[in-house]
Homo-oligomer: A and B are copies of this chain.
Amino acid sequence: MSEAKTPDTGRRSERSHQAILKAVVELVGEQGYTRLTIEAIAARAGVGKQTIYRWWPTKGALVLDAFAALMGDVAPLPDTGDVAADLRGVIRATVAELGAPRFEVPSRALTAESQMDPALAKQFVDTLLRPNLEVTKERLRAAQKVGQVARDVDLDVAVELFFGPLFHRWLLRTAPLSESYADTVVDYALAALRPRKSPGGRG
């Protein structure tokens, strides 16, 4: 996906390019990210190592590319008028994704790698994460307009109120994720955002 728009910066072998991404996806699935080697990728893809080094700066960037190609584009959230229901939709979907091995392995790998590599972190967030946060934020903005969410709420923080608990649990493995947990989080987070009856600021 990140390569989707680069028309022709001298790249030659589209065949090699695809074979490499395919090999990465396969090998990450088979052996995990830690045991993933450039040598193995080259061998599996039937490609010289140099060809990989030529086009990707790090293993992380390569995995990100391979993983991004796998993900569909992010659709805007529906607006049924029922904020709670609409948000339960995204959060439940996120819980499901985080639990699906196909996404879990590369997601954890990329998050891990991002800890030591801020450049990768940025690309990872911008490519895969931010779009999801943005559509949620958009839905919240709509709710704000119709008075279901308080006017003065900082929507960036608001979004984190929904996703933060999820990721905390998932990344630190403090407890398992479940659909009912997703619902509880949505429930609490919405309570935090609800407009007050009485005039005057918060706190």
CB within 8 Å of B: which residues of A? 32-34, 84, 108-109, 111-116, 118, 121-122, 124-125, 129-130, 133, 153-154, 156-158, 160-161, 163-169, 171-175, 181, 184-185, 187-189, 191-194, 202-203
Residue of B nearest to A192 (CB): B192
CB-defined A-B contacts under 8 Å, sample of 11: A84-B203, A109-B116, A111-B115, A111-B171, A153-B188, A157-B181, A157-B184, A160-B168, A161-B165, A164-B164, A167-B167
A187 to chain B, nearest CB (A): 5
Which chain B residues lie closer than 8 Å to A168 at the CB level? 160, 163-164, 167-168
Which chain B residues lie closer than 8 Å to A167 at the CB level? 164, 167-168, 171-172
Contact check, A171 vs B203: say whether CB atoms are below 8 A apart: no
Q: Which residue of the partner chain, among B112, B118, B175, B193, contacts A112 with CB atoms under 8 Å?
A: B112
- 9 closest A-B pairs by CB: A164-B164, A192-B192, A164-B165, A112-B112, A160-B165, A164-B168, A108-B115, A112-B115, A191-B192
A100 to chain B, nearest CB (A): 16
Alpha-carbon distance between A202 and B32 when the two chains are bound, in angstroms: 42
Contact check, B161 vs A189: say whether CB atoms are below 8 A apart: yes
Contact check, B193 vs A118: say whether CB atoms are below 8 A apart: no
A38 to chain B, nearest CB (A): 16
A125 to chain B, nearest CB (A): 5
Alpha-carbon distance between A129 and B174 when the two chains are bound, in angstroms: 9
A152 to chain B, nearest CB (A): 11
Contact check, B184 vs A154: say whether CB atoms are below 8 A apart: yes
A197 to chain B, nearest CB (A): 8
Alpha-carbon distance between A166 and B172 when the two chains are bound, in angstroms: 13
Alpha-carbon distance between A7 and B84 when the two chains are bound, in angstroms: 54
Contact check, A113 vs B116: say whether CB atoms are below 8 A apart: no
Q: Which of A114, A156, A174 has the most CB of B within 10 A?
A: A174
